[in-house]
Amino acid sequence: MKITINGLHKAFESRIKLGIMAALAINNMLDFNSLKEFLDVTDGNLASHLKALEKEEFIRVEKSFVDRKSNTNYAATELGRKAFTDHLNALEKLIKGVTE
């Protein structure tokens, strides 16, 4: 049996990027600290993965101030949602191909 990995997106190979997109798929918007807590990662680690997803235009960033403190929020873009859904569908096909 031939197993294909076509459709898997390289941007989601990292568990952290996969986690970011999963969190943003079920939440309209999350702030940096919520993502950090949810994924249990360091500031620097999260920031680098967020920057990579932003560069791919899979997430958008909104900066504001709350009580004189900077607040950065993240949301998945339409392009990001589609790429993530396509990735999940490819994973599902891969799993079904292996188990059939």
23 within domain boundaries: yes
CATH number of the domain bearing residue 78: 1.10.10.10
Instruction: Identify the domain containing residue 35 by its residue range.
Output: 13-99
Q: What are phi and psi of 29, to 5 degrees?
A: -160, 140
49 within domain boundaries: yes
Strand-pair partners of 76: 59
40 within domain boundaries: yes
5 within domain boundaries: no
Other beta carbons less than 10 A from residue 68's beta carbon: 5
Segment 9-62, tens digit of pLDDT: 889 989 999 999 999 999 999 999 999 999 999 999 999 999 999 999 999 999
Q: Are 73 and 23 in contact (CB under 8 A)?
A: no
If you ran DSSP here, which 8-state letter would residue 22 be given?
Answer: H
Q: Are 53 and 80 in contact (CB under 8 A)?
A: yes
This prediction has a pTM of 0.86
Q: Are 64 and 73 in contact (CB under 8 A)?
A: yes
* Residues 27, 30: Cα–Cα separation, whole Å: 7
1 within domain boundaries: no
Band of the pLDDT at 98, cuts 50, 70, 90? Answer: low
Segment 63-95, tens digit of pLDDT: 988 888 889 999 999 999 999 999 999 999 888
Q: Which helix (H) or strand (E) holds 99?
A: helix 78-99
3 within domain boundaries: no
Structurally, the chain folds into a number of domains equal to 1
